[in-house]
Structure 1
């Protein structure tokens, strides 16, 4: 089926949202038992971790881990926000740099200034959006980022969104005193889909729509490691405890350029393959054989593919064995863990 569909349903009793693009699963959000990214705690410093430059903090949901803790001492109370999911056996990662994020606006209390998404290129539109922001938040004294969804959006919708995030930020700031507590929950899959999948799409909300719109069939495929590529090539995405291993194969193509073609196809497919499986952390690519002169072009293709991805991914570089390494934020919980 051509076009974009946002499908809101449940899997095994868990709230879930799927983005289908031209009949293929492009993104997936599934709720879990872990604290959601965006959750804000009033936390109490517990004990520093020597050698790691971090500290464990106490929250109602257990210990969380904060980096860059210069000047903090056990017993200090602070506001922190969950940034992602913890690896097995580790504490939940948090930050003191709070963000209040919605469809049109992101409020940044610790980073003043008004900014418009760089993806909005029309100068008149940028000026229109900035004028709205100045009218609503010009005297607020906090930072504000106007997201790409603002382009062409109704003035009242943008104003309402900015005001809601400003009110939420103020509410949290005034509740900074006291013992450990949870101040706000992070957004669930359905709200996150509305917030982040802002391009035009058909929205399907009927119960059982995952089955009727092919999402369950797509989930069967992505729970495996095999990902088909163009011209019979393939890649295998296999998470281990230490890292995610990605193996690129040329298939039956034995031409001199087979390895290069397979690697470039893998670069284009990899963001989606990782995204729908909820994979992050250290990622190592075992590429098909290709001449060293093609490495720069491969890096450009990989950079272009991840630039369009919603999850921060750092391209680290080549190893002496010819592998390519990346570091990806653990913004999702691993699909195979959520669906157990």
Structure 2
């Protein structure tokens, strides 16, 4: 199965969407509403509670009895209402990460109330196209102090479609940010998977949009994701095992005992690690125990890691090597953990 294919369907009765690229599962969206009262992307009115000294933030009372943790605490006082957005998933019993930096996302644009300025995606390089999009943005956002990012999907789209999308986003953002009075309340729900797929996977344009996970390899890929073992090119494998404190990754060479086996297995693991963390919904501190190799090969492996994580949407910090020879990185938790959404069955 070649090409870029969006597959729409269900998993265990939950709406889901999968992005397959040349037969490999590249991204996955599953409805998290049953597992989480407030899914990532939801915007709500919250109420500031107590300051958390030493943790650099405040707790926020959210709708549905949920608690949020807000790091942008400067100038906030207990009892103050704030409009905030859920930015990721979390473990059961912990506060949800929320932010005051709201993002109102559409297919062609992102309205940013807290970040003024009109910007065009860097992926659009043709200067005449960029200037035309800037002109559209100035017209639609005239009189607003909100910012706007025009997404790469604008390239080749009709002006009317872009204007309609941006105007609707601006109207929604203005209504929501003005709605500060009252008890904690959900103001904008997180997008459903099919809607988010249409919005986020528009560029490059899919070669095909189909329905039914059973006929396109998605269910088999999901089964593999529920196992900690990940087969690597060349015969090696890695084990990805979440704990309460961190994500532990162990890389093994398998039956290959040649001198180059360790570096080959480690490079294969580095290239696939971002995809595996993304699909499994894993984030936080990640500690990788790479297969033993000479220290002189570390620079080569680090370069592979930097390239692999370069285009990841989730913010990732590559911390480096520990004194014991492990590699540490921190990946933002940007979605619910796959195993909590579909349990032991796909």
- Scaled by the length of structure 1, what TM-score is found? 0.95
Deviation per residue, 1:84-139 (Å, 9 max, x gap): 11223211111111111112111111111111122222222222222221222243
Give the match for residue 140 of structure 1: 144
Give the alignment of 1:79-98 within 5 angstroms.
Answer: 79-98=83-102
Give the match for residue 204 of structure 1: 210
Give the match for residue 331 of structure 2: 328
Contact 1:36 1:188 in 2 (8 A): no
Contact 1:244 1:281 in 2 (8 A): yes
- Counterpart check, 1:48 vs 2:54: no
- Counterpart check, 1:311 vs 2:311: no
Contact 2:89 2:337 in 1 (8 A): no
Give the match for residue 68 of structure 1: 72
Match of 1:270 among 265, 270, 273: 273
Q: What SS does structure 1 have at the residue aligned with 2:7? A: strand
Give the alignment of 1:1-340 within 5 angstroms.
Answer: 1-32=1-32, 33=34, 34=36, 35-61=38-64, 62-198=66-202, 199-201=204-206, 202-205=208-211, 209-340=212-343
Q: Distance in 2 between matches of 1:149 and 1:303?
A: 26
Q: Distance in 1 between matches of 2:275 and 2:146?
A: 34
Contact 1:136 1:159 in 2 (8 A): yes
Q: Distance in 1 between matches of 2:72 and 2:175?
A: 25
Q: Distance in 2 between matches of 1:9 and 1:47?
A: 43
Q: What SS does structure 1 have at the residue aligned with 2:114? A: coil
Deviation per residue, 1:298-340 (Å, 9 max, x gap): 2221111111222221111111111111111111111111112
Contact 1:55 1:65 in 2 (8 A): yes
Contact 1:56 1:66 in 2 (8 A): yes
Q: Distance in 2 between matches of 1:143 and 1:324?
A: 38
Deviation per residue, 1:255-312 (Å, 9 max, x gap): 2222111111111111111111111111111111222222222222111111122222
Q: What SS does structure 2 have at the residue aligned with 1:230? A: coil
Q: Distance in 2 between matches of 1:307 and 1:148?
A: 17
- Scaled by the length of structure 2, what TM-score is found? 0.93
Q: Distance in 1 between matches of 2:209 and 2:76?
A: 46
Contact 2:72 2:100 in 1 (8 A): no
Task: Give the deviation of 1:169 after TM superposition.
Answer: 0.5
Contact 1:172 1:183 in 2 (8 A): yes
Q: Distance in 2 between matches of 1:164 and 1:290?
A: 55
Q: Distance in 2 between matches of 1:63 and 1:222?
A: 30
Q: Distance in 2 between matches of 1:150 and 1:235?
A: 39
Q: Distance in 1 between matches of 2:199 and 2:87?
A: 17
Contact 1:66 1:93 in 2 (8 A): yes
Which consecutive segments of 4 or more residues in structure 1 shift more than 4 A?
none
Deviation per residue, 1:131-161 (Å, 9 max, x gap): 2212222432211111121222221221111
